């Protein structure tokens, strides 16, 4: 999978635009030869690339080793075990995908889609206004005054990696590489370093929300910024297995899947839930799809167990009076009936650390400053603000559970005009003594045992009815999806 062609990456990222516009989706329901446990997106991909193999993720209650061995013998490529969801990723023919979905012990065969970062290019800006405003807009400064800076808390950034910078000092540990789309461990794209700077940068003029928190880069995307869902799942599995060893309390996911789905069915959602139930706070960017149809149905932001973060514009000023919800920030109700996002944070015109030699440094020069910083917009930045806020909360009270963190964060926020979700207030969140737990009305993924938080090998078959009867009967607006998925390509 290493060195996969850029053309295939672009195709995967634009799958919905190309497939929905060309063929619609009703045909996916009309083909009797497609088993009910085969995701319709697999057929769409196969129709667009006749004769080529299809990237899939398979969940099964059967003998995975036997299935994998048989698949390799039949010509399946890049077969990789995904322990966290009792499944594996592979490249197979469409006919093999159909056969994989037929046995009753197979739960679901889905497309190994791509995720994309949730940032937008910055607007032209005045160099005299480069000093960061967003920590004040998130009300983190009073928390610093009380000595809370995120010290002792590790935030894992599942992204494109984190490049060394004086702003991180020795607090940014080595990168762990999970990417199938890159041959380098460094941050070739720049997105991960930008996000890390918002969370925990500590420069002279540009300071992140938790400037003394530790950072861990879990690299899943390459130079283009794309990541396969299976690689993100691998990274989350690593967090579950090694989070205690590295002191990981927070995971930042400033990315969204390019395929909309119910959280009950999506393998990435199952993976983030297991991390959540193992004591890790998962913060996810809402996406930049505005209030359009299915805008909040992309994993992992569609999952009720994560903290989903939307964006507001602080206008580059410290007073709150002129702050406004960003029109491009995803918002609405998921197909499962959950309002998203749960909180909004500064996300417009955010200046943070630039990865030297990255794609950002070369191709977004008009948004850089001093050769070390870059100004971008998007819910990627907003999620990072909240991840930093959570680090402050956990430094203050290390024993808080993810549900308690989410409850306090949401209930300590203040109103923002035009937003159904409260704006983050870091100082109010760390000062809160509210006793409550979030997610009381949520039901875990079909693969999760609600009592143990573990993936259940003999879980009930994943249902495809919701996807096939609700989501896939509509044709998404291709131009909107393009704007939301390839945000930096102008």
pLDDT for position 131: 56
CB within 8 Å of 321: residues ≥ 6 apart? none
Per-residue pLDDT, averaged over 163-168, amounts to 94
| Residue-level pLDDT at 184 | 81
Q: Name the percent of the chain lying above pLDDT 90.
A: 48
- Distance, in Å, from the CA atom of 133 to the CA atom of 318, rounded to the nearest integer, reads 6
Mean pLDDT of 110-127: 53
State the pLDDT at residue 201: 94
pLDDT value of residue 13: 39
Residue 24: predicted pLDDT: 30
Lowest-confidence pick of 92-101, 132-141, 275-284, 452-461: 452-461
Residue pair 168/196 in contact (Cβ under 8 Å)? The answer is yes
Name the least confident of 58-72, 174-188, 402-416.
58-72
The residue assigned the tokens 């927070």 is 250
Q: How confident is the model at residue 119 (pLDDT cuts 50, 70, 90)?
A: low
**Average pLDDT estimate for 73-92:** 76
Do the domains at 6-114+461-485 and 116-431 have one common CATH topology? Answer: no
Residue 459 CB coordination number (10 Å):
17
> What pLDDT does residue 200 have?
96
Q: Is the pLDDT of residue 190 over 80?
A: yes
What is the maximal distance between C-alpha atoms in the chain?
A: 64
Task: Average the pLDDT over 366-370 and give the result.
Answer: 88
CATH class of the domain defined by 116-431 = alpha beta
The model's confidence at residue 114, banded by pLDDT at 50, 70 and 90, is low
- Which one is predicted more confidently, 465 or 176? 176
Euclidean distance between CA atoms 372 and 72, whole angstroms: 46
Domain boundaries, the chain: 6-114+461-485, 116-431
- C-alpha 433/C-alpha 148 separation (Å) is 16
The DSSP symbol for 354 reads -
Q: What pLDDT, on a 0 to 100 scale, did the predictor assign at position 52?
A: 79
Residue 59 is predicted with a pLDDT of 77
Beta-strand relationship, 281-285 and 248-253:
parallel
Residue 401 has pLDDT above 70, yes or no: yes
What are the catalytic residues? 159, 191, 380
Residue 466 has what pLDDT? 26
pLDDT, the chain, mean: 80
CA 33 to chain centre: 33
Q: Which residue has the higher pLDDT, 246 or 181?
A: 246
**Mutual orientation of helices 40-48 and 15-23 as an angle, nearest 10°?**
80
As a three-state string, the secondary structure of 184-195 is CCCCCCCHHHHH
pLDDT the model gives residue 118 = 54
pLDDT of residue 30: 34
Higher pLDDT, 54 or 338: 338
Flag whether pLDDT at 361 surpasses 50.
Answer: yes
What is the model's pTM? 0.73
Secondary structure of 200-229 in HEC code, one letter for each residue: HCECCCCECCCCCCEEEEEECCCCCCCEEH
Rounded distance, CA 186 to CA 175, Å? 7
User: For residue range 431-488, what is the model confidence (pLDDT) as tens digits?
Assistant: 999 888 899 889 988 877 777 776 664 443 323 322 222 222 222 222 222 222 222 2
pLDDT of 456 reads: 60
Q: Which CATH number fits domain 6-114+461-485: 2.40.160.10, 3.30.70.80, 2.60.40.650, 3.90.230.10?
A: 3.30.70.80
Q: Which residues of 179-214 are buried (b: 16+ CB within 10 A; e: fewer)?
A: bbbbeeebbbbbbbbbbbbbbbbbbeebbbbbbbbb
Please compute the mean of the pLDDT values over residues 231-247 and round it to a whole number.
Answer: 93
* Full DSSP string of 406-474: HHHHHHT-B--TT-SSPBP-HHHHHH------S-TT----TTB-TTT-SBPTTPPPPP-HHHHHTGGGS
Give Cα separations from 406 to 305, 412, 436 (angstroms).
9, 10, 9
Report pLDDT for 240.
94
Cα dist from 66 to 57, 61, 88, 425, whole Å: 16, 12, 12, 52
CB 485 within 8 A of CB 31: no
Which has the higher per-residue pLDDT, 122 or 407? 407
CA dist., res. 190 & res. 200, Å (int): 16
Answer yes or no: is pLDDT of 104 > 80.
Answer: no
Task: Please say whether the beta carbons of 253 and 286 come within 8 A.
Answer: no
Best-predicted range by mean pLDDT (74-78, 113-117, 366-370): 366-370
pLDDT at 113 over 70: no
- Please write the tens of the pLDDT for every residue from 21-78: 332 322 333 334 445 677 777 777 777 777 778 888 887 777 778 777 777 776 777 7
- Average pLDDT of the segment spanning 76-85: 75
């Amino acid at each position: 999978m290493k060195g996969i062609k850029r053309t295939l990456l672009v195709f995967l990222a634009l799958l919905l635009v190309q497939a929905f516009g060309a063929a619609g989706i009703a045909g996916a329901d009309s083909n009797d030869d497609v088993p009910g446990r085969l995701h319709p997106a697999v057929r769409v991909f196969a129709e667009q690339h006749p004769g080529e193999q299809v990237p899939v993720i398979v969940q099964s209650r059967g003998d995975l080793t036997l299935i994998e061995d048989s698949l390799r013998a039949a010509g399946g490529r890049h077969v990789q075990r995904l322990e966290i969801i009792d499944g594996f990723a592979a490249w197979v023919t469409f006919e093999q995908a159909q056969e994989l979905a037929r046995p009753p012990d197979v739960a679901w065969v889905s497309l190994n889609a791509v995720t994309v970062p949730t940032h937008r290019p910055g607007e032209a800006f005045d160099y005299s206004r480069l000093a960061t405003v967003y920590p004040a807009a998130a009300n983190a400064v009073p928390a610093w005054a009380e000595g809370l800076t995120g010290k002792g808390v590790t935030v894992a950034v599942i992204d494109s990696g984190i490049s060394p910078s004086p702003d991180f000092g020795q607090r940014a540990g080595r990168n762990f590489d999970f990417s199938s789309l890159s041959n380098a461990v460094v941050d070739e794209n720049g997105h991960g370093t930008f996000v890390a700077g918002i969370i925990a940068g500590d420069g002279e003029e540009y300071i992140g929300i938790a400037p003394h928190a530790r950072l861990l880069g879990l690299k899943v995307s390459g130079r283009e910024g794309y990541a396969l869902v299976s690689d993100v799942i691998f990274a989350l599995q690593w967090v579950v297995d090694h989070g205690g060893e590295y002191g990981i309390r927070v995971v930042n996911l400033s990315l969204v899947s390019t395929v909309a789905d119910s959280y009950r069915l999506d393998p990435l959602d199952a993976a983030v839930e297991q991390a959540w139930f193992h004591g890790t706070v998962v913060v996810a960017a809402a996406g930049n799809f505005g209030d359009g149809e299915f805008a909040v149905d992309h994993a992992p932001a569609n999952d009720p167990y994560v903290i989903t973060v939307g964006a507001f514009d602080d206008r580059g000023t410290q007073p709150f009076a002129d702050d406004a919800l960003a029109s491009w920030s995803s918002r609405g109700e998921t197909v499962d009936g959950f309002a998203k996002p749960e909180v909004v944070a500064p996300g417009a015109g955010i200046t943070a650390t630039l990865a030297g030699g990255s794609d950002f440094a070369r191709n977004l020069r008009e948004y850089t400053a001093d050769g070390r910083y870059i100004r971008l917009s998007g819910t990627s930045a907003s999620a990072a603000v909240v991840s930093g806020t959570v680090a402050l909360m956990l430094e203050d009270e290390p024993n808080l559970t993810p549900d308690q963190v989410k409850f306090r964060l949401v209930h300590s926020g203040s109103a923002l005009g035009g937003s159904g979700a409260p704006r983050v207030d870091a100082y109010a969140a760390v000062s809160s003594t509210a006793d409550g737990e979030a997610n009381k009305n949520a039901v875990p993924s079909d693969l999760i045992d609600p009592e143990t938080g573990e993936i259940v090998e003999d879980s009930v078959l994943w249902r495809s009815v919701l996807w096939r009867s609700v989501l896939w009967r509509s044709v998404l607006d291709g131009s909107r999806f393009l704007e939301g998925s390839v945000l930096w390509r102008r």
